[in-house]
Chain A
């Protein structure tokens, strides 16, 4: 067990493409760190640099107190689970799990003990003699995890391990991986493109975009206080509404306005925004912070739009309404908004975020 420290890690591929632009990240000992971001943002590249499967172009990588830049994967004492599982097809489940220990010349009894224990944890006792091809997708996934845990490494590196499973199994394996990681207390770096997976699994989440870290924070903090527009829209589903407009002085308060709406900026936030008076700005508000008012009685911060698509999810209704931009609201399933009819949307401006339109920085974090 050990912490992992990335210092100014940069990756330039041989074709000249710079995939990772000098990132700093500390993963604490025993922490479950999720790397999340859209496809191609260099999650795998980053993870593979930690594993030693990809050279580090510059910067320092520390596992524990050791600088491991120049160590081969076999000397880093890490274990990895690959997206395609990468099980050895000619070996049985038992041999697959035992391989790493045999290579490291563990005693036969010790190997047997660890493999049996891992098989017990993962419910693979019955499959030990089978070849990978005789297993279901979920079982293969477990073997891949088993191969990692028998090693009792310093760090687990998982690269989108659940992306080939069906939805139900994915939810189940999610819980199982969390349970195993917590039980073993092994430092984990877990890569996924799925923000739901990230939110449910990570102690902390590192959001990546185009080879840069957008924010590192605990799930709820990431959700409530996104550092920038990218994180704001990437985390959460449906995504946060982003509306372009201008800030203007309106009496004592600042107001956000464009062709279709005029909203009051709460006093608590206006302090940060004085310098944007008269300038363009992006307003961000999550769908659940916009409610539908059919009575017409709501006084302030109401925007009238025409209702478009309505998605009934059972426990909630997602309403797409057009007021200049399309605005998405998440309401109670009994909301009586009708397609094609106007509806009043009440913006809860206390929950609003304001982003610099150029840099995308969240201006209201303080």
Chain B
């Protein structure tokens, strides 16, 4: 009996603290949603009750969907995030594999050198990058932003993938060699499939990073905005409500991805293979 009651209290405490944490995390998101749905009169009323109050409207959302600015921005953001992800994984995977199979000292040096480009603040490095890109006619192109995003994400992807590949025991590859497979076949049929969870995690992180990215996009864009730029564009003109609607649109895939991510993160990819 005693133990049972203690258990119940523990459970109540657990849920209470979980609830508080979720509230702290959810509050800004709910607020953002609310602002995108609030009527301007209510919003500017001095004694308004922000989260739960009267004055709901779909006007801002209608405006956002009707303006003709959403779809190009959405398309551009989706396109850039996806292409960046594919390229980042394709470029980083072979490099990361090689790094993961080199000696310990070299490995450390190589990984550190990957992060050199990340040592400078983005606002600092974005200007020289865009000047360079200007002379290569890359400003205001999709390719330009993709390349800029790659500067940003490649170190992270490579780093995650080095960790992923390192976790694969040598004996797995050796078993494949002995079974008659060459190096490439072993990569394709053993190493990459077994690393899939790690690769997926890296890919999703890249996708999110590129999807959210603001600084490079700002420097390299003249005409067609990405979603974050579009959010900022409204904010800059005092369009709080439209901005909130855009912010909500940006957030949705982030939440979905994060859910998928956390499932992948806990699944043991090597379970049962060795020992």
List of A residues within 8 angstroms of B196 by Cβ: 90
* Interface residue? A266 (CB, 8 A): no
Cβ contact of A84, chosen from B171, B269, B271, cutoff 8 A? B171
Q: How far, in whole Å, are A85 and B172 apart by their CA atoms in the complex?
A: 9
Segment touching B, from A24-32, A96-104, A114-122, A241-249: A96-104
Assuming the contacts A88-B190, A89-B194, A90-B194, asked whether A73 and B177 have C-beta atoms less than 8 A apart, the reply is: yes
Q: Interface size bucket, A side?
A: 20 to 34
Q: Is the CB of A90 within 8 A of B177?
A: no
A132 near B273 with CB under 8 A, answer yes
Taking a contact as CB atoms under 8 Å apart, the answer to whether A74 and B194 are in contact is: no
CB-nearest residue of chain A relative to B274? A84
Residues of A within 8 A of B46 (CB): none
Question: Are B182 and A74 neighbours in the complex by a CB distance under 8 Å?
Answer: yes
A88-B180 in contact (CB<8A): no
Neighbour of B178 across the interface among A74, A84, A164, CB < 8 A: A74
Cβ of B275 within 8 Å of any chain A Cβ, yes or no, is: yes
Number of residues of chain B lying within 8 A (CB) of chain A: 26
Known: A79-B178, A89-B194. A84 touches B272 (CB 8 A): no
When the two chains form their complex, are residues B180 and A89 in contact, meaning their CB atoms are under 8 A apart? no
Asked if A103 contacts B180 (CB within 8 A), the reply is: yes
What is the CA–CA distance of A78 and B193 in the complex, to the nearest angstrom?
25
- B194 and A80 form a contact (CB under 8 A): no
Give A40-68 as 1s and 0s: 1 = Cβ < 8 Å from B's Cβ atoms.
00000000000111000000000000000
- Among A72, A85, A104, A147, point to the contact of B275 (Cβ < 8 A): A85
B272 touches A51 (CB 8 A): no
Q: Give the distance in Å from the alpha carbon of A75 to the alpha carbon of B87 in the complex.
A: 35
Assess whether A86 is interfacial by the CB under 8 Å rule. Answer: yes
Taking CB atoms, residues of chain A closer than 8 Å to B174 are: 51, 53, 73, 80, 82, 86
Does A131 make an interface contact (CB < 8 A)?
Answer: yes
Contacting B at CB under 8 A, from A172-203, are none
Q: Are B177 and A137 in contact (CB under 8 A)?
A: no
B86 contacts the other chain (CB 8 A):
no
Our pick among A53, A74, A83, A88 for the contact of B273 (Cβ within 8 Å) is A88
Contact B275 A90 (CB under 8 A): no
Q: Are A89 and B179 in contact (CB-based, < 8 A)?
A: no
B176 interface neighbour in A78, A84, A99, A135, Cβ under 8 Å: A99
- Could you tell me if A99 and B272 are in contact, using CB atoms closer than 8 angstroms? no
A133 touches B178 (CB 8 A): no
A140 interface residue (CB < 8 Å to B):
yes
- Residues of chain A within 8 A of B260, CB atoms compared: none
Quick one: closest A residue to B182, CB to CB?
A74
- B residues 213-234 near A (Cβ < 8 Å) are none
Interface on A for B, CB 8 Å cutoff? Answer: 51-53, 72-74, 78-80, 82-90, 99-100, 103-104, 131-135, 137, 140, 147, 151, 164
B11 interfacial by beta-carbon distance below 8 Å: no
User: With A72-B177, A100-B179, A103-B180 as given contacts, are A86 and B185 in contact (CB-CB < 8 Å)?
Assistant: no
Given A79-B178, A137-B275: A89 and B169 within 8 A (CB)? no
How many angstroms between the C-alpha atoms of A73 and B180 in the bound complex? 7
Task: Indicate if the CB atoms of B179 and A74 lie closer than 8 Å.
Answer: yes
CA distance A90 to B168 in the complex (A): 12
Contacts A52-B177, A84-B169 aside, 13 further interface pairs with beta carbons under 8 A come to A52-B178, A53-B178, A74-B177, A74-B181, A85-B274, A86-B175, A87-B175, A88-B273, A100-B178, A100-B180, A133-B268, A137-B275, A151-B179
Closest CB pairs A-B (n = 5):
A133-B272, A89-B273, A100-B179, A132-B272, A86-B171
B26 within 8 A of A: no
Q: Is B112 an interface residue (CB 8 A)?
A: no
Sample (22) of A-B pairs whose CB atoms are under 8 Å apart = A51-B178, A52-B177, A52-B178, A73-B177, A74-B181, A80-B174, A84-B274, A85-B273, A85-B275, A87-B175, A87-B272, A88-B175, A89-B269, A89-B273, A89-B274, A99-B176, A100-B178, A103-B181, A132-B271, A132-B273, A133-B273, A147-B179
Query: Which B residue's beta carbon lies closest to that of A77?
Result: B180
Residues of chain A within 8 A (CB-CB) of B181 are: 74, 99, 103
Q: Does B16 contact A (CB under 8 A)?
A: no
Task: Give complex CA distance A79, B194 in Å.
Answer: 22
Which chain A positions have C-beta within 8 A of B185? 103
A84 → chain B closest CB, angstroms: 4
Which residues of B lie under 8 Å from residue A151 when comparing CB positions?
Answer: 179
